[in-house]
């Protein structure tokens, strides 16, 4: 099977009602249900992630990308849906607490859009990465330090910063620490949510190059979420385009860039050229 198979993934913020899905979405032009005022962050989302591939998810702010990513990383409760991960029999979205913890620490690495969701800024950078190893039952202090140093090198963070508080790191370095943490236990799937948003352009380019190298070397299946088509174009083999919580177009990234079928996708592309 694929690394991940998702069907009908839906997230509604609010009480929800029978009209939520049909009265929202791209065709309607809104994600707020006119009947019960709930927000349908995403609905009926379906895709697979294959071995070694990078799947991009692109769409403007508010289109539901982070809600989807957080559900896949098991950090947000889904309203409905079925997500299969190769390492587990059954629907991840309804797995018990123990199973979710196990998946989170060993099989799915997540780089959160908000740094504070992914890292404890009061901890040292090394400590944040070590935490992930401890969760996967690493116990020997020397071995942990060695592995953390290796991960710092891999993600191009100066090793002499390992024992500094993460709050003192630059925004770019904090993203790198999140990436180091996400790949620490060699998960089958890594999810990056807006990995470069808010960083200087030159820093963005270096982080994307670094991640692209790691992804190619390790062949780890990846989902990269971004509002920035440049990021998607650089990293993603295939792409889903989201709007108002729905996937409106999907296909090979090159095809989508060169021959977008959907008027909205054309607009997205034209707005960045």
Ligand X SMILES: Nc1ncnc2c1ncn2[C@@H]1O[C@H](COP(=O)(O)OP(=O)(O)O)[C@@H](O)[C@H]1O
User: Quick check: 64 binds ligand X (CB under 6 A)?
Assistant: yes
Cα distance between residue 232 and residue 140, in whole Å: 39
Q: What is residue 41's three-state secondary structure?
A: strand
Provide the minimum distance between the beta carbon of 62 and Mg ion in the complex, in angstroms, as a whole number.
8
Provide the minimum distance between the beta carbon of 241 and Mg ion in the complex, in angstroms, as a whole number.
15
User: Quick check: 10 binds ligand X (CB under 6 A)?
Assistant: no
What is the greatest pairwise CA distance in the chain? Answer: 59
Choose the stretch contacting ligand X; rule: CB under 6 A; options: 54-62, 125-133, 170-178, 196-204.
54-62
User: Quick check: 66 binds ligand X (CB under 6 A)?
Assistant: yes
> Is the Cβ of residue 225 or residue 256 nearer to ligand X in the bound state?
225
User: Quick check: 30 binds ligand X (CB under 6 A)?
Assistant: no
Percent helix, strand, coil in the chain (nearest 5)?
Answer: 40, 25, 35
Instruction: Tell me which of 13, 123, 138, 264 binds ligand X, using CB under 6 A.
Output: 13
User: Quick check: 222 binds Mg ion (CB under 5 A)?
Assistant: no
108 Ramachandran zone, left/alpha/beta (phi>0; psi -120 to 50): beta
Cα distance between residue 179 and residue 195, in whole Å: 9
Provide the minimum distance between the beta carbon of 81 and ligand X in the complex, in angstroms, as a whole number.
14
2 Ramachandran zone, left/alpha/beta (phi>0; psi -120 to 50): beta
Select the binding partner of residue 230 from Mg ion, ligand X, none (C-beta < 5 to 8 A, by kind): none
Q: Count of residues binding ligand X (CB under 6 A)?
A: 12
What is the end-to-end Cα distance of the chain in Å, rounded? 37
Paired tokens of 188 = 């089958």
User: Quick check: 215 binds Mg ion (CB under 5 A)?
Assistant: no
Of 120, 125, 160, 217, the C-alpha closest to 209 is: 217
User: Quick check: 253 binds Mg ion (CB under 5 A)?
Assistant: no
**Is the distance from CB of 68 to CB of 11 less than 8 angstroms?**
yes
> Is the Cβ of residue 31 or residue 113 nearer to Mg ion in the bound state?
113
Cα distance between residue 173 and residue 157, in whole Å: 7
User: Quick check: 62 binds ligand X (CB under 6 A)?
Assistant: yes
Which residues inside 87-146 make contact with Mg ion, applying CB under 5 A?
113
User: Quick check: 174 binds ligand X (CB under 6 A)?
Assistant: no
User: Quick check: 66 binds Mg ion (CB under 5 A)?
Assistant: yes
Paired tokens of 110 = 């997540």
- Catalog residues that contact ligand X under the rule CB under 6 A: 13, 31, 39, 41, 59, 61-67
Note the residues at the interface with Mg ion (CB under 5 A).
65-66, 113
């Amino acid at each position: 099977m694929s690394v991940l198979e998702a069907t009908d993934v839906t997230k509604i913020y609010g009480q929800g009602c029978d009209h939520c899905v049909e009265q929202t979405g791209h065709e309607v032009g809104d994600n707020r249900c006119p009947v019960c005022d709930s927000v349908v962050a995403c609905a009926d989302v379906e895709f697979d992630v294959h071995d070694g591939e990078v799947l991009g998810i692109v769409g403007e702010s508010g289109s539901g990308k982070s809600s989807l990513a957080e559900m896949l990383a098991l950090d947000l409760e889904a309203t409905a849906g079925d997500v299969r991960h190769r390492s587990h029999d059954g629907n991840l979205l309804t797995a018990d607490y123990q199973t979710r913890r196990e998946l989170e620490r060993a099989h799915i690495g997540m780089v959160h859009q908000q740094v504070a969701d992914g890292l404890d800024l009061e901890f040292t950078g090394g400590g944040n990465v070590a935490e992930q190893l401890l969760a996967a039952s690493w116990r020997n202090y020397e071995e942990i330090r060695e592995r953390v140093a290796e991960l710092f090198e891999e993600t191009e963070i100066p090793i002499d910063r390992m024992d500094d508080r993460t709050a003192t790191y630059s925004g770019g370095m904090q993203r790198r620490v999140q990436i180091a943490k996400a790949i620490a236990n060699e998960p089958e799937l890594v999810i990056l949510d807006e990995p470069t948003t808010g960083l200087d352009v030159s820093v963005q380019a270096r982080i994307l190059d670094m991640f692209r190298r790691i992804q190619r070397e390790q062949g780890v299946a990846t989902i990269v979420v971004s509002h920035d088509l440049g990021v998607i174009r650089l990293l993603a083999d295939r792409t889903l385009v989201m709007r108002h919580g729905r996937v409106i177009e999907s296909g090979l990234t090159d095809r989508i860039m060169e021959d977008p079928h959907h008027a909205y996708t054309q607009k997205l592309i034209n707005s960045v050229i």
